[in-house]
Amino acid sequence: MVHTSYIEISKSAYKNNLKFIRSQVGSHVTISSVVKGNAYGHGIENAVKIAESAGIRHFSTFSTDEAIRVKTTTTKNSEIMIMGMVDNDSISYLIENEISFYVFDIDRLQAAIAASNSLGRKAKIHVEVETGFHRTGFEWDEKSKVAEMLINNRENLQLAGLCTHYAGAESIANYVRIKNQIKTYLEFKQWFQDKGLHFDKYHTACSAASLSYPETIMDMVRIGIAQYGFWPSQETYMLKFKQLAPNMKNPLKRLISWKSQVMSIKKVKIGEFVGYGNSYMASRNMTIALVPIGYCHGFSRNLSNLGKVLIHGKILPVVGTVTMNAISVDVTDLKEVQKRDEVVIIGRQKRNEITVASFGESTQQVNYELLTRLPHDIPRKIIS
Ligand SMILES: *Cc1c(COP(=O)(O)O)cnc(C)c1O
């Protein structure tokens, strides 16, 4: 082992999750695999490989750099859609590579038309409309101008999609707001149709919307967190749980496990302090294992005296402060702990498990944040 820890990514867990998502959205719907944020920390290249082997042929990214990574990884010529940042200068590249992208302002629409004109090829665009998220999307009173531009430049534009995004479908607190967004979206759709403008795909749903608001599913769903085995929120799970067969286990499985090993072992006498300063004093004669992961590897300093890891299948406490490169773990109760023994930071070992959620709760991070902040340079390997 050259690195201090590594991340395993389970292909079979992905297949399992996709099967569940498919059962929820129906067989005719395109599932776009959202791989922004380095595929929620899994690594874009790994995620594309696993997803394609499970049958996915559509990927969504936030930005052009991510789209290029998908493009260089795909072996199935999958479709790629950019939902966020596209600099006008990149549009020609996108057209040449048949990468579709969101358009949510007149400037980008004009740039797409201009680039298409000079290349003599159509730009594949998704028109995003503002329905209540108030981040990006054409406003209701811009629709005539947009429609006119779409109609006048028909030969430059492939109308790949009409889309919007919901403002928190994972929480029931937003119920009224989401319902209003659905209504507004359908008004836009109807209005464009009345103008003779039809889009290849109508798509609005992320994981939470797909699971909690079936009417948002339409032609395509953009699934991020659920494919990686996490519920968008506890609420989404509870809501779904009631509809699942009794005794059915959690249908989503985590892909990711994070592992390291014992670097060294030390005996500490009662009354001595462990690590920097005096945050932890040995309350008995102790055995301490040093594990080479610290806050520079994404193991938060907030987990000082709070974090837990698994060794020999037992849940064991981190003692003392988390340092840049290492943590100390109390292994006094283990028999024969040895240098190089496996340490699980996230994942299962024998009968016990440390979930991303429990790891995240103690650091006040949501799954999304914790996953995407796992440092890119921890090696990821795909396991079956
Ligand atoms: C991130 C994102 C998604 C996926 O969200 P999940 O909650 O991870 O399923 C879908 N659509 C857009 C526009 C997004 O930005």
- Residue 245 DSSP class: P
Residue 364 pLDDT more than 70? no
pLDDT band at 78 (very low <50, low <70, confident <90, very high): very high
Residue 50 pLDDT more than 90? yes
Residues facing residue 106 across a β-bridge: none
User: Residues annotated as binding site for substrate?
Assistant: 135, 324
β-pair type (327-330, 286-291): antiparallel
User: What pLDDT score does 356 carry?
Assistant: 85
pLDDT band at 104 (very low <50, low <70, confident <90, very high): very high
Residue 363 pLDDT more than 80? no
User: What pLDDT score does 369 carry?
Assistant: 87
The per-residue pLDDT for range 290-308, each reduced to its tens digit, is 999 999 998 989 899 999 9
**Contact criterion met (CB below 8 Å) for 61 and 83:** yes
Residue 71 pLDDT more than 90? yes
β-pair type (314-319, 327-330): antiparallel
Q: Which residue has the tokens 């967190």?
A: 225
Query: What average pLDDT score do residues 314-321 get?
Result: 96
Tell whether ligand 1 has an atom less than 6 A from the beta carbon of residue 137: no
Please give the single-letter amino acid code of residue 19.
K
* Structural domains of the chain, ranges and CATH numbers in brackets: 11-241 (3.20.20.10), 256-383 (2.40.37.10)
Residue 137 pLDDT more than 90? yes
Helix ranges, 26-84 (H): 36-40, 44-53, 64-73
Residues facing residue 267 across a β-bridge: 287
User: What pLDDT score does 234 carry?
Assistant: 87
* Ligand 1 site-directed mutation target among 20, 83, 255, most atoms within 8 Å of CB: 83
Residues facing residue 220 across a β-bridge: 30, 203
Tell whether ligand 1 has an atom less than 6 A from the beta carbon of residue 224: yes
- DSSP run (H or E) holding 299: none
Q: How far is CA 207 from CA 59, 194, 285, in A?
A: 14, 30, 50
Angle at 236 between CA 231 and CA 241, to 5 degrees: 95
User: What pLDDT score does 264 carry?
Assistant: 97
Taking phi first (over 0 means left), then psi (-120 to 50 degrees means alpha), and beta for anything else, what does residue 354 get? beta
Residue 243 pLDDT more than 90? no
User: What pLDDT score does 68 carry?
Assistant: 98
The per-residue pLDDT for range 204-227, each reduced to its tens digit, is 999 999 999 999 999 999 999 999
Please give the number of the atom of ligand 1 that sits closest to the Cα of 207: 9
Query: What average pLDDT score do residues 367-380 get?
Result: 90
Residue 246 pLDDT more than 80? no
Query: What average pLDDT score do residues 34-43 get?
Result: 96
pLDDT band at 269 (very low <50, low <70, confident <90, very high): very high
Please give the number of the atom of ligand 1 that sits closest to the Cα of 223: 9
Tell whether ligand 1 has an atom less than 6 A from the beta carbon of residue 232: yes
pLDDT band at 1 (very low <50, low <70, confident <90, very high): confident
Q: Which residue has the tokens 């020999």?
A: 312
User: What pLDDT score does 366 carry?
Assistant: 79
Side-chain-side CA neighbours of residue 319 (13 Å) = 22
State the Cα–Cα distance between residues 327 and 347, nearest whole angstrom: 18
Active site residues: 36, 276
Please give the single-letter amino acid code of residue 103.
V
**High-pLDDT (> 90) share of the chain, %:** 86
Query: What average pLDDT score do residues 95-103 get?
Result: 98
How far, in Å, from the CA of 224 to the mean position of ligand 1?
A: 6
User: Residues annotated as binding site?
Assistant: 135, 324
The DSSP result for 12-32, as a single string, is HHHHHHHHHHHHHH-TTSEEE
Tell whether ligand 1 has an atom less than 6 A from the beta carbon of residue 83: yes
pTM, full prediction: 0.94
Instruction: Quote the mean pLDDT of the chain.
Output: 95
Residue 360 pLDDT more than 80? no
State the Cα–Cα distance between residues 322 and 109, nearest whole angstrom: 49
How far, in Å, from the CA of 340 to the mean position of ligand 1?
A: 39
Phi, psi angles (nearest 5°) of residue 282:
-60, 125
